[in-house]
Chain A
Amino acid sequence: MSIKTGAGAKTPPPFYKRVGRKVWLFFNSLKLTLAVMLTLAFAAGFGTVIEQGLRPAEYIRAFGPKWTSVIYYTQVNDLYHAWWFTALLALLCLNIIVCTFERFPPKWKALLNQKPSGKFNARIISNCSHNNTIILATELDKAREKVLAVFKKKKYKTQLTTASDGHYIYAWRGTLGRFGSDIVHISLLLILLGSILGGFYGYKDNKIVYEGDTMTVPEAPFQVKLNKFWIDFYDTGQIRQYNSLLSVMENGKEVLKKQIWVNEPLYYKGIRFYQSSYGSAWDRIKRADIGLLKKDSKRIKTTVSVDWGKTVPLKGTPYSIKLMGFAADFAYDNATKTVFSQSAETKNPAVHIEIYKGKEMISNPWLFLNYPGIFPAIPDSEDDLVFAGFTGIMYSGISLNKDPGTNVVWLGALVMGLGFFLAFFITHKRLWIYIKSEGNSSEIKIGGFINKNQFALEKELKDIVHRIESD
């Protein structure tokens, strides 16, 4: 038995390195990019076919119990937040990162440090897909000056090598365009980063605020007060806009006042406030009109307006009335013995009042707008009270949104724009020119390569040849 060890023997790279290499190669593949992109496209499309975020009962109605359990198991009811969808996005990110790491540094070196390569093989020119030969009736050095002047005018960088058999010129422009795709890829990472930031450090909330009320804002050192809500109409009666007049309150003082509407949020200290819904309150009103009449008559003798929560004396009578409650669509729950509103509509409006005679409360009935006198308001009395009208309170539905990632997303979008511009509209053109003496004249051979957009190169070469030939 002999164990060979020695400097000469090649040990295979350790296991983890081989695996690491394989993983790296896996992520460094454009085919993976294509596969992931098309899978993402397909999955996202699937998510638009299965309606998202329904309640289980609704899925069961649409798909039956068996498929519903499949839906929940695969999380396609919330597909865009399913772990496997997130994993696909992560795969794309890794793919981008690895590709960029692999390709960017060598590209950077090759493109930005174009060191003089000296004399190149003139055959490179005839190998170019686009090449031209020009004969100029001038001597060699004049021809060289001419060519260099044309390239200077066309904003090319040039590099001249003079050898015994003539001049070799390498000219290039649009190098930056080669970095466009890298910039696009980095911008994608930025956008994803922004959305992750928003997911971790932001929140969304919906609040219902009555006119005159103040809402507390989570994680913020201020409150917001709704002064007024109103709707604008077109002449035709169609709704034109929903508006809320908001005040930002800090330590009880108003620091900012702003009217918001759909499409025009309030932005304050990182939080946005949007107009999102509205309605009239179903459990509250601004004031109620209460009328006094004799039990056997239909004629109201006096009325009084009572503000919410206030006690008001009914003039010319011993009574005072306090407005306690309201239900837009009165209903009574026998089990809990509580009153509630069945809907937000004013189908059966009712007010809850307390009636005082002097200091003593003599009754606390519910009165119904649609059924005056149905129950006696004051027991054992000739007098009765009816609910004669009311002024409702509007509420405004305000959405709150704090998303510290939004600006990162916008930054990413801007960077992407820059990347697109470089990638699609700045082409990297490289030209090789060889000038040699042919008797009294000079022969100029030009050949060029372009990374994309062959037409542009064709046109460019035509223009260059034209400029060199004309004086």
Chain B
Amino acid sequence: MVLSLVFFSFSFGFYILAALFYFGNWTLKKKWLGQLATSISYVALFSTTMILIMRAGESGHAPFSNLYESMVLFVWGINLGYLILEYRHKFKAIGAFVMSLAFLAMLSASLLPYRFKSVEPLNPALQNKWHWLVDLLSKVGLEKYAIGWLDFHVFTTFVGYSAFAISFGISIMYLIKNRSEARGGKGGLLAAFPDSKMLDELGYRTIAWGFPFLAIGIVSGAVWANYAWGTYWSWDPKETWSLITWFIYAAYLHARVTRGWRGKKAAYLSIAGFLAILFLYWGVSFVLPGLHAYA
């Protein structure tokens, strides 16, 4: 419990700083602020990874088994995804939006009541390991660390969520930038944004990662449900909402190949998709009754 908390506190600080420095870099246009922001993001990534590793050590199972741990995983995914994006395309203005999201996620994780945070042994339905992996790892005495469909399911789902979070940030930027371009606005703060065509493309690329990951998440969840509950699909609210979000993003992809639906409408769909994700993630757990423990 202790070490993971230490790393959590550190990471929390790093995310505040990263978001602030990205904002500073964007508004003040100081290059060194941007470099600082990027370095801190790398440190934050390391620190977040350590939270997960420590949690795994403390609980003896993969660190994705309650709401708190899943939030950390979510933040980890956002950070990693963002850094890859920045490394490839060098747009630091996006960081101001995306790292703020990561910070908000950290904040809400820290505000969770204790019962969502504590290290718990797994209840019967959550225990599932791949036999082949257990056999393989037991040769070196590490069978404790074998994972199963559940861990795979949560991990892929959250990689998907993270990608969608990034595309959400980008879609908002797109709408802002698109409006200013339509008005012929040039300079000002928005000059640091990539142009709207680029933002559209970047939003698409992140969704092109998120969509298959969410699909793998849904399918692996179905495989697991087939083990645990006896049916691969039972229209449980969480399942249903994951399908809903998936449909919204499918609509987004098709909107992009449909005349008259490109750009703005697609961006709205991407935003709607992320709102559905938020509901899928938080709303369903607290509002609707169902079989899922959390995420």
Contact = CB atoms under 8 A, between A and B. Distances in A.
B258 A44 contact: no
A117 B253 CA distance: 32
A238 B122 CA distance: 10
Given A38-B248, A40-B247, A410-B223, A276 B230 contact: yes
Contact of A204 (B219, B231, B247): B231
A38 B124 contact: no
Given A33-B254, A234-B121, A41 B228 contact: no
Contacts of B255: 34
Interface string B227-239: 1111111010100
A263 interface: yes
Contact of B212 (A33, A406, A420): A420
Given A239-B124, A263-B124, A406 B248 contact: no
A171 B283 CA distance: 51
Central interface residue in A263, A399, A453, by most chain B CB within 10 Å: A263
A313 interface: no
Given A262-B228, A420-B211, A424-B212, A413 B247 contact: no
B258 A30 contact: yes
B124 A262 contact: yes
A48 B240 CA distance: 7
Interface in B154-203: 201
A240 interface: yes
B231 A264 contact: no
Given A204-B231, A261-B124, A416 B254 contact: no
Nearest to A243: B124
A37 B240 contact: no
B261 interface: yes
Interface in A412-467: 413, 416-417, 420-421, 424, 452-455
A38 B232 contact: no
Interface string A269-312: 00010101000000000000000000000000000000000000
Nearest to A236: B121
Contact of B208 (A30, A40, A264, A424): A424
A340 interface: no
Contact of B121 (A238, A264, A416, A452): A238
Contacts of B222: 409, 413
Nearest to B120: A238
Interface string A379-421: 0000000000000000000010101001001100100110011
B84 to A, nearest CB: 13
Contacts of B211: 420, 424
Contacts, number: 116
A455 B89 contact: yes
A45 B208 contact: no
Contacts of A420: 211-212, 215
A37 B247 contact: yes
B237 A37 contact: no
A259 interface: no
B50 interface: no
B113 interface: no
A242 B201 CA distance: 51
Contacts of B284: 48
Given A41-B247, A204-B230, A410-B223, A239 B123 contact: yes
Contacts of A51: 289
B112 interface: no
B121 A47 contact: no
Interface string A27-59: 000110110011011001101110110000000
Contacts of A416: 215, 219
Given A240-B124, A263-B124, A263-B228, A34 B261 contact: yes
A31 B205 CA distance: 22
Nearest to B216: A417
B152 interface: no
B104 interface: no
A74 interface: no
A410 B250 CA distance: 20
Interface string A182-195: 00000000000001
A299 to B, nearest CB: 46
Central interface residue in A48, A417, A452, by most chain B CB within 10 Å: A48
A34 B229 CA distance: 33
A44 B248 CA distance: 12
B118 to A, nearest CB: 12
Nearest to B223: A410
A453 B258 CA distance: 17
Contacts of A274: 228-230
A272 B223 CA distance: 13
Given A34-B255, A413-B219, A80 B235 contact: yes
A241 B127 contact: yes
13 contacts: A31-B258, A34-B254, A37-B247, A41-B276, A44-B243, A47-B240, A204-B231, A262-B124, A274-B229, A274-B230, A403-B231, A417-B216, A455-B89
Given A44-B240, A274-B228, 4 more contacts: A40-B247, A49-B288, A52-B235, A413-B219
Interface of B: 88-89, 121, 123-125, 127-128, 201, 204-205, 208-209, 211-212, 215-216, 219, 222-224, 226-233, 235, 237, 240-241, 243-244, 247-248, 250-251, 254-255, 257-258, 261, 276, 284, 288-289
